[in-house]
């Protein structure tokens, strides 16, 4: 494998375990680029449910059920998007 090929590394984990810190360190140390799958997913879900995408970035709002999401929380909708 040559150095000019794209390498993809995915980070996953619970809230506040340091995924962003690791990503920032790798970018600073190795010239990586960060792409968050969440951003694309939020755009899709906001369009599907006709809600403001900013709702998905507010931690307190993410935990509470919403009428527009069939009484599911934003977090549950994001976690089950594409598998339910």
The pLDDT-based confidence of 2 (bands split at 50, 70, 90) is low
Residue-wise burial string across 30-41, b where 16 or more C-beta atoms lie within 10 A, e elsewhere: eeeeeeeeeeee
Output the pLDDT for position 68.
82
Percent of the chain past pLDDT 70, that is, above it, reads 95
Structure tokens at 9: 């590394």
Kindly report whether the global pTM for this prediction surpasses the value 0.85: no
- Report the SS3 class of residue 66: strand
């Amino acid at each position: 494998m040559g150095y000019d090929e794209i390498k993809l590394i995915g980070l996953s984990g619970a809230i506040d375990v340091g995924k962003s810190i690791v990503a920032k360190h790798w970018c600073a140390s190795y010239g990586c680029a960060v792409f968050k799958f969440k951003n694309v997913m939020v755009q899709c879900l906001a369009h599907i449910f006709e809600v403001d995408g900013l709702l998905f970035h507010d931690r307190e709002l993410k935990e509470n059920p919403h009428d527009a999401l069939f009484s599911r929380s934003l977090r549950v909708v994001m976690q089950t998007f594409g598998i339910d």
